[in-house]
Amino acid sequence: MTQDALFQSLYPRLGQWPLKLAAERLEGGEHGDFARWQEAIDSLPAPSPGPSSEPWSVKTGAIFYPLQGTTTDFKALATQLQQLHPWRKGPFALGSLFIDSEWRSDQKWNRLSGALGRLDELSILDIGCGNGYFGWQMLNAGAKEVIGIDPMLLFCMQHLAIQHFFKDPRHHVLPLGVEEIPNSYCFDLVLSMGVLYHRKNAKAHLDKVFALTRPGGRAVVETLIVEGERSLTPPGRYARMRNVWEVPCIPDLYRALALSGFQAVELIDVSTTTPAEQRSTPWMHFDSLEQALDAQDPGRTIEGHPAPRRAIMMASRPS
């Protein structure tokens, strides 16, 4: 399928204008590293799956493609894929090459997937999808189609590198911010994971998630949270991140989701993020969670805030 034909198939869900914008961004004119990324993707080896009948699968949390090759081939492949560093979400495995991303995203998936259940025939929007790791998990759980959006072009390029092998027409990762998507009321399931606290106007973000969910559909909102009854508005950085505007407490999250119109709001999980889940690796060699925590008191960030804890909420849009 050409990019044009592929995008045409998405018009009904995303609208023509955002897709035009995504196509322009995927041509890369605006990004200084684009030519290097594109060259890395263009020089990837031809997909050569092993004898397995499945084109790709999920193996112990990694999104796996049965690529065949020699040790030398895999060394060269690793060098090409390292051009797309940092790999934040994963893991992925291409034959014997294990892309050990910063996040063991399978751990979040394990906390969420039981509550989601089977996703047969669902059309899903994943807001802030990164390179699309969760999209593969959702397709594996039966989804009909997953559209991921993320303004970071690098993550879309990582998805294209994976799609070079997988060639799965049910999954797209587009370089768009959620605010660029017109309200379409047509996704059966909308995910917003790790995005809420990055939005200056959290209420507007939840309203948008609601507007993108079809009547009778479901939404998942996963976010950093603080314990207790008061949301935290960090005066400066939070865990070294500059763009954390508000970390909600759980009662405020319930209220905000209800105010946006959601019903049947449920708390699925609350977990502390540990360096077993988020850490530096050879595929993400910048600092990670460990360097953001107080070395004397890992219950605090280096700014003195409560250490990262995350909640997963699920809610429905009334029919």
Q: Which positions touch ligand SAM (CB under 6 A)? A: 89, 103, 105, 127-130, 149-152, 155, 177-179, 193-195, 198, 222
Cβ-based nearer residue to ligand SAM, 66 or 135: 135
Cβ-based nearer residue to ligand SAM, 77 or 126: 126
d(CA 204, CA 45): 44
Pairing of strands 263-272, 309-316: antiparallel
**Nearest approach, Cβ of residue 310 and ligand SAM (Å):** 9
**Which one, of 118, 170, 167, lies nearest residue 145 by Cα?**
170
Q: Which residues partner with 189 through β-bridges? A: 124, 218
Residue identified by tokens 């809420």 is 196
DSSP secondary structure of 96-146: TEEE--SB-HHHHHHHHHHHH---TT-EEEEET-TTSHHHHHHHHTT-SEE
Cβ-based nearer residue to ligand SAM, 66 or 172: 172
**Nearest approach, Cβ of residue 47 and ligand SAM (Å):** 26
In sign, the C-alpha dihedral spanning 210, 211, 217, 223 is negative
Report how far apart, in Å, the C-alpha atoms of 254 and of each of 4, 60, 195, 215, 222 are: 41, 33, 17, 19, 12
Cβ-based nearer residue to ligand SAM, 39 or 287: 287
Residue identified by tokens 């969910």 is 213
d(CA 220, CA 94): 29
**Nearest approach, Cβ of residue 298 and ligand SAM (Å):** 20
Cβ-based nearer residue to ligand SAM, 180 or 303: 180
**Nearest approach, Cβ of residue 3 and ligand SAM (Å):** 21
**Nearest approach, Cβ of residue 93 and ligand SAM (Å):** 18
Cβ-based nearer residue to ligand SAM, 88 or 317: 88
Contact (Cβ atoms closer than 8 angstroms) between residue 263 and residue 271 = no
**Nearest approach, Cβ of residue 121 and ligand SAM (Å):** 23
Cβ-based nearer residue to ligand SAM, 89 or 317: 89
**Nearest approach, Cβ of residue 88 and ligand SAM (Å):** 7
